[in-house]
Amino acid sequence: MPNQKRISGLDRLEIKGQPYSWNETFASYWSESGDPRALQVSDLANWRMTFQSGRTYGPDGQRIELRIVSSQHCPLEGRTIYRVMFLDHTRGICGFVQLANITPESFMREYDAGRYEGSWTSAFAEDIATHLERDYAAALERVAKANPRPGFNLPTLDELKKAISDAIDDEQMEFPTFQAFFDWWDVVTAYDGMDVEDSNAAYRPLLEVAYRSLVHEGRVST
């Protein structure tokens, strides 16, 4: 494969059952089989990354598939930017996103922030806001089932977003990931004298959707 470069985030990849790993000596990807061969451009066109986001949006979680469509070197940053096609099998969304690192974490960060070109394959009339409202309704149902006890009040999405926004405005902080936000929220609510177990651990699915919504609206910096 001429002018082959390591794909950031992919030291090892598998194409049609054949594993390849980056060979520093030859500066290219080589097969790990008994018949070593360099990865070809035509091979890369068949590469797919399929992963679970860890979110329970459906009976089988949330399955996402990625594949590289094209790449372009960015001289200002000195790195390659990849145009990646994605398919969210669970929600029926497909589209394109630009990534410098081809990892599930990098993709989810862009996806959650709404930084992608996409279309709904199963619900064309919906937008991101509707998409988030639906996710929040599903999260409310899960939380209510997991905590069936009197006095366990569940906030609306707007109520939870307002509480988060008010706290963030006081702190002026950035949260590159949901986990970073969640850890900070744990501390904030603990100092406020709130029931951490109820407001955080049990509310985690709600907090996750609220975080994504605020990122999409530009009210949370990543």
Mark whether 13 and 35 lie in a shared domain: yes
In angstroms, what CA-CA distances link 5 with 2, 11, 41, 141?
A: 9, 11, 11, 47
For residue 164, being part of any structural domain is answered with: yes
Mark whether 28 and 63 lie in a shared domain: no
For residue 65, being part of any structural domain is answered with: yes
Mark whether 175 and 156 lie in a shared domain: yes
Mark whether 102 and 138 lie in a shared domain: no
Mark whether 43 and 54 lie in a shared domain: no
Point out the domain boundary residue: 84, 105, 126: 126
Mean pLDDT to the nearest integer, 59-70 = 86
Residue 216 CA, chain-centre distance (Å), reads: 13
For residue 121, being part of any structural domain is answered with: yes
For residue 62, being part of any structural domain is answered with: yes
Burial letters 101-116, b for 16+ CB under 10 A, else e: ebbbebbbbbbbebeb
Mark whether 90 and 151 lie in a shared domain: no
pTM beyond 0.75: no
For residue 222, being part of any structural domain is answered with: no
Q: Name the domain count of the chain.
A: 3
Closest listed residue to residue 58, CA positions, set 22, 17, 90, 96: 90
Q: For residues 64 and 88, is the Cβ–Cβ distance under 8 A?
A: yes
For residue 21, being part of any structural domain is answered with: yes
For residue 85, being part of any structural domain is answered with: yes
Q: Please give the residue range of the domain that contains residue 10.
A: 1-47
Query: What does the pLDDT read at residue 2?
Result: 44
pLDDT digits (tens, 9 = 90+) for 102-138: 999 999 999 888 888 876 554 433 556 777 888 888 8
Query: What does the pLDDT read at residue 84?
Result: 93
Point out the domain boundary residue: 91, 126, 161: 126
Percent of the residues in the chain that have a pLDDT greater than 70, as a whole number: 82
DSSP letters, 31-54, are E-SSS--BPPHHHHTT--EEEE-S
Closest listed residue to residue 147, CA positions, set 211, 61, 212, 206: 206
Query: What does the pLDDT read at residue 105?
Result: 93
In angstroms, what CA-CA distances link 202 with 73, 137, 196?
A: 44, 15, 9
